[in-house]
Structures are given as C-alpha cells and as structure tokens.
Amino acid sequence: MALLLALTLGAQAQLAVFKKSTLTIDTAAGPRRFAIELALTPAQQEQGLMFRRELAPDAGMLFDLGSERPATFWMKNTLIPLDMLFIAGDGRIADIHQRAVPLSEAIIASKVPVRAVLELNGGTVARLGIKPGDVVHDALFGNGG
C-alpha cells in the first residue's frame, strides 16, 4: 500500500501546472464565460485534462497550437467526457466534437486547420447551444477576453 501511495504521489508531482484565465463564447443565447487553464507548452498540451476526475461546469482548457494547422487529440488517460471546440485564428468555432469518450485512444481530428482547441465538460455544447460559427473571445485571437 505504501508503495502504491508513493507511486501515486510521485506521478502527481510530475503533473504540469497551468496558467489560468477566462474567455467568453458568443452564442445565439448570449455570451457564456468560462474559467480556463492554458495549455501552452508541449508538456502541458500532452497532459491536457488527463487524470482529472471532474471539471467545474464553467471551466475548460484552451490549447494554443501556435498557428493554424490540423489538430488531433485523443482521450487516453482522460477520465471525464469532453466536448472539443476547434477554433480558427479569428476566434470563430470551425468544428465541434461532442462527448469524447473517456479513455479512448481513437483519434479526434479537426476537419479544417485551427489555431486552438477548447475542451469543456461533455454535454456543455448541447446544454449551452454552442455551434460552429460562434465566436470565442480571448487575447489569443486578438478579440479580447
């Protein structure tokens, strides 16, 4: 038991730390604000939301890809279902993948090149009516936060 605890604590010590911010998504029903963590480095992007057992309803993680390019993700070691919003360089949501299956190694790819990906709790897109064409406001897209 002690060895398992030590291994668990060691693995947790290796987890990346993420800068926090906020962003807003303009939807047909009005603006929706989210508290986000920023995945900026390769290590942060590799880890993403892996190993999390929960995510607040108004929280998410924004992955900055650095430039518009095809994006691919998977759910390996991710314990909660996620909605993935694939966002163009101007902040417009170009594509959405809803309710990605926890622990799946299936590749989830953007249909077009994108600048960023926002991961939210699975079901958030449907609950809030978020659709392709809605605009994400954040400094990353040059349109505020």
Predicted confidence at residue 15, as pLDDT, reads 81
Per DSSP, the three-state class of 98 is: strand
Q: Which of 108, 102, 126, 134 is nearest to 23 (CA)?
A: 134
Q: Which of 61, 57, 90 is nearest to 78 (CA)?
A: 61
- Tell me the pLDDT of the chain averaged across its residues: 91
Q: Residue 6 — very low, low, confident or very high, per pLDDT cuts 50/70/90?
A: very low
Q: Which helix (H) or strand (E) holds 77?
A: none
Q: What is the pLDDT of residues 41-94, one digit of tens each?
A: 999 999 999 999 999 999 999 999 999 999 999 999 999 999 999 999 999 999
Q: Which helix (H) or strand (E) holds 11?
A: helix 2-13
Let me know: does 62 contact 118? Beta carbons within 8 Å: yes
Q: Residue 145 — very low, low, confident or very high, per pLDDT cuts 50/70/90?
A: low
Identify the DSSP state of 21. Answer: E
Q: Which fold has domain 18-141?
A: Jelly Rolls (2.60.120)
